[in-house]
Amino acid sequence: MSSLTTRIELNNHTAIPCFGYGTYKIKDASEAYESVKAALEQGYRHIDTAAFYENEKFVSDAIKDFMKENNVSRQDIFVTSKVWKTELGYDKTLAAFEKTMEEMQLDYLDLYLVHWPASFAFDDDWENTNRATWKAMTEIYKSGRVKAIGVSNFLPHHLKALMEMEVIPAVNQIEINPGFLQKETVDYCQENGILVEAWSPLGRGKSLSHPVLEELAAKYNRTVAQIILRWEIQHGIVPLPKSVNPERILQNANVFDFEIAAGDMAVIDAIPPYGNSGHGPDDL
Ligand SMILES: NC(=O)c1ccc[n+]([C@@H]2O[C@H](COP(=O)([O-])OP(=O)(O)OC[C@H]3O[C@@H](n4cnc5c(N)ncnc54)[C@H](OP(=O)(O)O)[C@@H]3O)[C@@H](O)[C@H]2O)c1
């Protein structure tokens, strides 16, 4: 990985930039617009939104204006959205996708994700619900209006039902931060050709003060955020840090000119859980 625009080939040969920009909790129209614009101006080419974030329109307006003002073509920007967990099932997923496309007014999305799986915790027929949702996702993919389809917050037992279907998920976006590598799920995905993306790669800020990481930040002359994001990249994971602060947006992207030594990677891997959200797909 050499820069923000370096792409990784997904299992359907679509290529995804190795580093993204997250937009959760940026609900205010002008803040969402300005932050996405700032990220694009600083070289980010991969933007992550979701129907649940209630900002798809503002995010998409920023992308379209940036393209127009800078003569950047649509294919140079990778745009992801997601179907929320209240819209699972075949018909609701198709309708949710139409609503997203209406909000975003783009010809196509690069990636469309199932935001949360149906789980035995709240759905007795969870495996069939996930299959029905995935059937709709597959239909959307075949229509050509999304370049790739994937899932989010799927653990191996959720993924297994989809692995037997016609199209295999290209991506699984899961929570990953130091102390919360979710190794079993990462290994399962990487062994099955599913790219892993990290949500809350900075533990929503909670991961940024840990003595071990502070020590490593001093050793590499980097910020803790940069150490964490670099650690994720070196694990073959695509991080999606969110910031509304232009200096942090820039700082977070400056992770392509150093390498964390294997011994220090292992030190970060061994940090006990501390910054994760505590919300798993089978709890909600
Ligand atoms: N699929 C899912 O279920 C799911 C769930 C959650 C999130 N996501 C996606 O993943 C993205 C990232 O996750 P997240 O937004 O939860 O958390 P995050 O990116 O781990 O952390 C964002 C927080 O860290 C702060 N921050 C960012 N860079 C910083 C830096 N260099 N130094 C100090 N503070 C910094 C931000 O504050 P400022 O903005 O003030 O800089 C913000 O409070 C989301 O935006 C969303 O796109 C997906």
- Distance separating alpha carbons of residues 109 and 260, to the nearest angstrom: 34
Q: Is residue 236 part of a domain?
A: yes
Q: Is the pLDDT of residue 60 over 70?
A: yes
Residue 46: helix, strand or coil by DSSP?
strand
Q: Is residue 282 part of a domain?
A: no
Q: Is residue 280 part of a domain?
A: no
Specify the pLDDT at position 283: 85
**Model confidence band, residue 61 (pLDDT cutoffs 50, 70, 90):** very high
- Distance separating alpha carbons of residues 125 and 13, to the nearest angstrom: 33
Domain that holds residue 124: 7-269
Going through the chain in order, the beta strands assigned E by DSSP cover 7-9, 15-17, 21-22, 46-48, 78-83, 109-114, 146-152, 171-175, 195-199, 238-239
| Ligand 1 mutation pick, 243, 254, 282, 283, max ligand atoms within 8 A of CB | 243
Report whether residue 22 contacts ligand 1, using a CB cutoff of 6 Å.
yes
The whole-angstrom distance between residue 68's C-alpha and the CA centroid of its chain comes to 25
The enclosing domain of 101 has a CATH number of: 3.20.20.100
Ligand 1 atom showing the smallest separation from residue 198 Cα = 10
By percentage, how much of the chain surpasses pLDDT 90? Answer: 97
Report whether residue 59 contacts ligand 1, using a CB cutoff of 6 Å.
no
Residue at 215: amino acid letter: E
- Distance separating alpha carbons of residues 98 and 280, to the nearest angstrom: 28
Specify the pLDDT at position 284: 58
Model pTM above 0.85 = yes
Domain count of the fold of the chain: 1
Report whether residue 249 contacts ligand 1, using a CB cutoff of 6 Å.
no
Nearest CA to ligand 1 atom 11: 22
Q: Is residue 2 part of a domain?
A: no
Q: Is residue 283 part of a domain?
A: no
Report whether residue 172 contacts ligand 1, using a CB cutoff of 6 Å.
no
Residue at 164: amino acid letter: E
Q: Is residue 279 part of a domain?
A: no
Specify the pLDDT at position 83: 98
Q: Is residue 166 part of a domain?
A: yes
Ligand 1 atom showing the smallest separation from residue 23 Cα = 45
Q: Is the pLDDT of residue 93 over 90?
A: yes
| C-beta separation of 254 from 226 below 8 A | yes
Q: Is residue 1 part of a domain?
A: no
